[in-house]
Amino acid sequence: MTETIGKITLDLSKYPGEDFYCDGTVEDELLQIARDYSPVEYGRIIEEKKSWPILYHLSPLRENIVDFIPFTKEDKVLEVGSGCGAITGVFSRKAGSVTCVDLSKKRSMINAYRHTDCENVTIHVGNFKDIEPTLPTDFNYICLIGVFEYGQAYIGGETPYEDFLKILLRHLAPGGRIVIAIENRLGMKYFAGCKEDHLGDYFSGIEGYPNGGGVRTFSRPALEQIFANCGVENAAFYYPYPDYKFMTTVYSDGYLPGQGELCNNFRNFDRDRMLLFDEKNAFDGVVKDGLFSVFANSYVAVIGGELPVMYTKYSNDRAPQYQIKTVICKDEAGNLQVRKYSLTEEAREHVRSMKLAYENLCKRYENSVLAINKCQVVETAEELYAAFEFVSGRPLSELMDACVEKRDYEGFYALFEEYMERVGYNEEYPVADYDLIFANILVDGNTWTLIDYEWTFGKAVSTRELAFRAIYCYILEDEKRNAIDLGRVLDTLHISEKEAEEYRAQEADFQKFVTGKRLSMGEIRNLLGGEVYTPEKWIEPHKEATKAARVQIYQDTGSGYKEEESVYVPDAYVNDTLVEFEFHVSGNVQMLRVDPSFSSCMCKILEMTFNEQPVPLEKRGILITNGKVLKGDKSCPSVVFPTMDPNINIAVAKLNPEKDNIFRVKMEVVSLPLAMAEDMARAVKKLI
């Protein structure tokens, strides 16, 4: 029982006849797109639809999570939970054969339609437990991308995750690997205010899923324990950043992030989020303390041994002719090497151009104090890459951050001036690296090395323009850097505010030059409309509102009101507007002052009694207030207060006080903006 869509085979022999898992009508939309449009049109469709499911299922950036794995055409790959095929294409291009398993026929059809030319792909449709016994036992790679957390649903039982893994291990060839991409239950983004990916609530993963549910993500120690329970002795961990869904960079234990690198923390496209703290600063702290592996947002766990790649950064939300990836690996001699690969056919020339950029920059900076990282281009029938030496040192941006953190601004400006001196050498030479930002310069003692010069152009660019762009990009990356006196920087560069605006506009043009007609992922996030809520912005107004919604009472026994003798009435506010309270007044009190709020407001006195007798507010001299009394029932007046210190004064001495008196009040208080209260008070003055 098979069907074919293009060159894809769908094996339906274990399909139960209906889909038991469906995301609703969006799957019909995805099927229509996959059937009627070419993958090259997906970028345009994503921008037009402005839909998280469309982005999630169709974005080519989803492939990054496995693209860094060195599959070969001799490898057999099993993809469990292939879904709509977000990852299937990269397996097909790089491996020899691909076997997919998915419960949903509709999703499998979407996968097939978007990969109709992939003749090395077979999709098994049905329950994994039914299909698994028919699968071969010689897969070189078994991949579970966002799937392992559903082990309870796939397998069931008391130990579903161990049982799931043991089943998979039976299908692994000798020397093969199992690749698991999964969220970290203790990922930094969840502490900072992102919702748990599967349940959509705050902190449930961190709290250990107290409300249950069929999905579980794990910390690294928990994953390692599961692996150990299954007899796995060799597992390596990789750290996709920002997370595994739209990974731009993957780190490893052999190459961990440095301080300042983890600043791209708003890639949660699917839901609104809170922002409880600055994730960049928090990441800097855990990186410094060696705890990044504990708080990384996601993991790629590789059972079966380390991969030869230690680090990969993807730049594939650019125009096709500039899409590349940067890899840190070991060369044949075991030395670390940086390589830049093209990700598209159009970008091959961009990679080749890097050697010419190196040669031209060497000519410009010959005999200078700025070293240029050596580059050579390797091109064979199988691959093309630009190879760079792995240079030791600290990024100039990190040294500058250290100065800012210590408030050593003179030290910062000294580094900035040295930067201008070094990069400004031979300024008139018709070659310039436009991307001479601080992070692209490594400092090792007195040696400053330019390590990345991808955007080198054959024309002269003024030092002040390069320096302004460097400082502009530097400040944009981190709010802490706003402490830098930009005015002093502009004075140093002899740049006017008008010129600065022109340079900013020029930077926006450059970014569009890089991304081409398509939007960057940052722009797409804004397009989808996900909100970032900062609780501090709610708390302060709430605190002010809470402070305003208090009643304070003063008593004058003949020497005036005294702040230190005033009292607050607890729980006087029954709700947001209704005030009710009872207060005991001694017999020697002459005047009583009630402050109904701590902001401009309107107050309606509904009831006011003194020893159970109504206070005759309509009588002259009984009610004295700093507000304006509106026309109406004088025994239950309404008063507008165009002040932040409203008060109602009652002449107690005129009410025949006893030794101990009971003062009862019921009134309605509505806060008003001060300007509105002032307008109302002026209107009252004209009417009365």
Task: Please give the Cα distance from 235 to 251 (Å, whole number).
Answer: 15
In whole angstroms, give the CA distance from residue 9 to residue 444.
56
Q: How far is CA 611 from CA 566, 580, 649, 661, in A?
A: 21, 16, 17, 6
In terms of Cβ atoms closer than 10 Å to its own Cβ (0-12, 13-18, 19+), residue 300 is: buried
Rounded to whole angstroms, the Cα distance separating 202 from 206 reads 9
One-letter amino acid at 513 equals: F
Coil, helix or strand at residue 578 = strand
Predicted confidence at residue 543, as pLDDT, reads 67
What pLDDT is attached to residue 187? 97
CA angle 204, 207, 208 (to 5 degrees): 90
DSSP conformation letters of 256-284: PPPTT---------SS-EE--S-HHHHHH
Using CB atoms within 10 Å of the CB of residue 109, give its burial: 0 to 12 exposed, 13 to 18 middle, 19+ buried. Answer: buried
CA atoms within 13 A on the CB side of 680: 21
- Reported as a single tens digit per residue, the pLDDT across 361-405 is 999 999 999 999 999 999 988 889 999 999 999 999 999 999 999
- pLDDT (tens digit per residue) in 530-552: 788 888 877 766 666 666 778 99
Count other C-beta atoms under 10 Å from residue 282's C-beta.
18
Q: What is the crossing angle of helices 521-528 and 42-49, to 10°? A: 30
- Report the C-alpha gap between 499 and 519 in whole angstroms: 27
112, 274, 329, 476, 490 from 282: Cα distances, Å? 43, 15, 28, 18, 31
Q: Which residues of the chain have pLDDT under 70?
A: 540-547, 685-688
What's the pLDDT score for residue 545? 64
This prediction's pTM: 0.81
Q: Where are the domains of the chain?
A: 326-389, 394-528, 546-687
What per-residue confidence (pLDDT) applies to 544?
A: 65
Cis (ω within 30 of 0) for the bond into 308? no
Radius of gyration of the chain (CA): 34
CA angle 482, 488, 491 (to 5 degrees): 135
- Could you tell me where the beta strands, DSSP code E, fall in 507-652? 532-533, 552-556, 567-568, 578-586, 591-595, 601-610, 613-614, 623-625, 628-629, 638-641, 648-650
